Amino acid sequence: MSEDKGFIPYTARRLTEEESRQKATDQYQLANMRRSVRDFSDKPVPFELIKDLVMTAGTAPSGAHKQPWTFSIVGNSEVKSEIRKAAEKEEYESYNGRMSEKWLQDLAPIGTDWHKPFLETAPWLIIVFKRPFEYVDGEKWQNYYVNESVGIACGMLINAIHNAGLTTLTHTPSPMNFLSKILKRPDNERPYLLLPVGYPTDNAMVPELKRKSFDEIADLHL
């Protein structure tokens, strides 16, 4: 690849095979401890920590490097209360008519319902918006592979949150349009995911779940 036209040399860490394997094992063991937690402490989390987590998410690959995401960071208690009220209204409708019986049966072991107190208790909410297009000189310019790009960024954000010793859960009230209104987002953004972020309570409980084995998730062609 030519070094002109905006290209720079790629620099990467050089690890031995043993070091690489150890890092992969450590990463898996840490990731395997990750759980979606709903019992949040109100213990403060420094904004600079949240900023670094969001900047980590912003390093995700994206279609044509368009970076089609916005991370709305909410710490204001009044705004969190407004979000909770609107989210619970939609969730109540979902649990009492929108969801199928099979869906409700699948959720039963997890113990969720329409009450979402964590939206106020967690010190921070990160609401991820996807950007299907941009305005450039008054003209619409399309972004590419938007859902895929934003999904990868969210995965990296969740991993970074847990690596920092914090916890979160993926909250997707449906519909989510109230988030655009409350947070006054422009018309080229669509709400994608809401992540409460903070520390778990000392007595936090999570469902006893089993993850699929390697043989169940991998298809080998050696």
* Separation CA 132–CA 115 (nearest Å): 31
66 token code pair: 């368009």
Average pLDDT for 52-56: 98
CATH domain 36-201 topology: NADH Oxidase (3.40.109)
* Residue the block writes with tokens 């113990």: 111
Bridge partner list, 126: 73, 195
Which of 42-46, 107-111, 201-205, 210-214 has the lowest average pLDDT?
107-111
**pLDDT tens, residue by residue, 163-196:** 999 999 999 988 999 999 999 999 999 999 999 9
Residue bearing the bigger pLDDT, 33 or 1: 33
In DSSP terms, 168 is beta-bridged to 197
From the list 167, 206, 201, the residue with the least C-alpha distance to 53 is: 167
- pTM here is 0.94
φ/ψ of 200, rounded to 5, equals -75, 155
Confidence (pLDDT) at 24: 97
